[in-house]
Structure 1
Amino acid sequence: MPCESNDADLNHRERATLRAVAHGSAELTSSCAPDLFIDGLACCDQLTARGLARRGLIAPARIARRGQRVPAVLTDAGRAALGLRPVLAA
């Protein structure tokens, strides 16, 4: 279950990673310890990426096969941590 979080709980690197995901060019692998890729390159701080996923701030955009890369998105909690408005369902 995701932990509650706010911007004060995030360090500079975590905020920068969230901004990269918000930019729309990030992917996550589908696994219990997801790997993050930004612009096709492996993120250099997988511990931060996995922590953000575990805290429920980033997530895969859709269900995928184990190990498959899928687009990464900010969750509503991740958007709130960056001070962004939640995405409204269509």
Structure 2
Amino acid sequence: MAGGHAEISCSCEPDLFIDGLSCCDQSTAHRLARLGLIAPAHPGKCGDLVPALLTEAGASALGEVLAVAA
């Protein structure tokens, strides 16, 4: 997401796209959005694709996973 390759659909169950391709595990994408770990970079109309961003909570969770893996 940091490289600008991810987009997210604006909806109550947002879908995630990487380099224009649908993420193969949309149920995980929905869960990441519901947990507030990923989010649209800006508002859009329902169904619009907008840049996706890793939220502060997502970055924190990722940092914890990387620390455990190290």
Q: Is the pair's TM-score, using the shorter chain for normalization, greater than 0.5?
A: yes
SS of 1:73's equivalent in the other structure is strand
**Aligned with 2:35 (options 46, 55, 60):** 55
Distance 1:23 1:79 in 2: 14
Q: Whose strand proportion is higher, 1 or 2?
A: 2
**Aligned with 1:66 (options 46, 63, 66):** 46
How many residues are treated as equivalent by the alignment? 64
Please list every run of 5 or more consecutive structure 2 residues that lacks an aligned counterpart in the other structure.
65-70
TM-score scaled to structure 1, two decimals? Answer: 0.67
Superposition RMSD on alpha carbons, in Å? 1.4
TM-score scaled to structure 2, two decimals? Answer: 0.86
SS of 1:83's equivalent in the other structure is helix
Distance 1:62 1:26 in 2: 13
| Overall identity of the aligned pairs, in % | 62
Runs of 4+ deviating beyond 6 Å: none
Please list every run of 5 or more consecutive structure 1 residues that lacks an aligned counterpart in the other structure.
1-20, 85-90
Which residues of 2 match residues 72-87 of structure 1 at below 5 A? Answer: 72-83=52-63
Partner of 2:8: 28
Q: CA deviation at 1:80?
A: 0.5
